[in-house]
């Protein structure tokens, strides 16, 4: 396995713009482009809270696939692995404003927080009603006693789905912000990867190129993890990683959780399914029920051979919001599962 150095694009300087154009064309019933912003093809009604996320590109279908009914209203995409600037985020806030205020959800990375904070302050100075919630869930990036220093990871999706449903149902801006914080408190994630990937613009690898060992605790931008032995099995990996999430969030026997196994880019469905099996068995062995589940490509790091586990500790309120209908280019939920 070696990092890929040949891609199918036309110009290094136009990768993001052309990607957005093609994705919007392919999903024109759900999303549209508005001055470089990804917006709903049909805006939500007036009087409802708008939800905005800004992020670096290179993680598709995040976040462009999560704009739609019951999900986000506007995604402000930046360059590859680079947060969009404050002015563009302010434009996104204005685009999402339907008269009930806007919730800005920010993944905990230094550039994202800085630019979003500046954008929030500017929007407030212009008389807009805006709240900002910083999201973090990656247990490998900081100890529990400093969880506010943790990175945002695959657990972001639980917040977007659940808060998106709350906003769609008419919850106030303050209520939506509190639900986001509640889901954040109950969500944990951890990632792993084999080898690294090459940045398609710079041509430089994001990390150390080791094509035979699994690194646990990898970040979404290639931040390094801890190398494990070459012979470790998928079940052992799942037991190690999911047990860490369970202990960190203090899930007990009898708990109900939502479980996500996310593909970072190039793992096969075969591998992902075996990892899901191991994660579900680990939870079951502890008396924890997998009440809701996702498996697939949600947040990628280009074509990295990696994955992430995320769990969210559910309660009746969160389950009801989780089960609410949603329709985005990368996620469709038609209603309650039995």
Residues with a known catalytic role: 59, 221
- Length of the chain, in residues: 338
Q: What is the CA radius of gyration of the chain?
A: 19
Q: Kind and range of the H or E element at 135?
A: strand 130-135
Whether 243 and 237 have beta carbons less than 8 Å apart is answered as: no
Burial category of 315 from C-beta neighbours within 10 Å (exposed 0-12, middle 13-18, buried 19 and up): exposed
C-alpha to C-alpha distance for 201 and 77, rounded to whole angstroms: 16
Going by their DSSP bridges, the two strands 68-69 and 332-333 should be labelled as unpaired
User: Please, where are the H alpha helices in the chain?
Assistant: 15-26, 86-96, 110-125, 156-168, 173-185, 234-249, 269-285, 316-322
Q: What is the DSSP string of 248-289?
A: HHT--TT-EEEEEEEE-BS--HHHHHHHHHHHHHHHHHTT-E
Q: Which residues have a Cβ under 8 Å from the Cβ of 130 and sit 6 or more positions away?
A: 93, 101, 102, 103, 104, 120, 123, 124
C-alpha to C-alpha distance for 297 and 116, rounded to whole angstroms: 26
């Amino acid at each position: 396995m070696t990092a890929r150095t040949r891609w199918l694009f036309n110009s290094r300087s136009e990768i993001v713009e052309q990607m957005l154009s093609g994705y919007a064309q392919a999903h024109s019933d759900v999303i549209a482009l508005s001055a470089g912003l990804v917006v709903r093809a049909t805006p939500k009604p007036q009087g409802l809270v708008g939800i905005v996320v800004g992020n670096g590109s290179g993680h598709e279908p995040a976040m462009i696939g999560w704009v739609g009914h019951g999900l986000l209203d506007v995604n402000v995409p930046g360059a590859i692995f680079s947060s969009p600037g404050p002015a563009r985020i302010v434009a996104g806030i204005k685009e999402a404003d339907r008269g009930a205020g806007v919730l800005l959800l920010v993944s905990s990375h230094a550039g994202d927080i800085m630019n979003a904070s500046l954008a929030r302050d500017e929007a407030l100075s212009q008389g807009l009603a805006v709240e900002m919630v910083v999201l973090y869930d990656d247990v490998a990036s900081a100890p529990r006693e400093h969880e506010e220093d943790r990175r945002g990871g695959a657990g972001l999706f639980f917040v977007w789905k659940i808060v998106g449903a709350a906003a769609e149902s008419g919850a106030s801006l303050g209520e939506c912000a509190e639900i986001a914080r509640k889901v954040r408190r109950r969500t944990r994630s951890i990632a792993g990867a084999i080898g690294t990937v090459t940045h398609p613009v710079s041509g430089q690898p994001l990390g150390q190129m080791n094509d035979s060992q699994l690194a646990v605790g990898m970040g979404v931008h290639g931040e390094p993890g801890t190398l494990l032995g070459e012979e470790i099995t998928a079940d052992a990996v799942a037991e190690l990683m999911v047990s860490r999430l369970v202990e960190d969030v203090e899930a007990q026997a009898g708990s109900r959780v939502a479980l996500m196994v996310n593909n970072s880019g190039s793992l096969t469905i075969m591998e992902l399914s075996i990892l899901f099996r191991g994660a579900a068995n680990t939870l079951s062995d502890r008396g924890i029920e997998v009440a809701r589940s996702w498996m697939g490509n949600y947040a990628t790091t280009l074509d990295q051979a990696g994955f992430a586990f995320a769990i969210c500790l559910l309660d009746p309120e969160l389950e009801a919001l989780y089960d609410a209908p949603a329709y985005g280019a990368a996620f469709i939920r038609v209603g309650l599962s039995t």
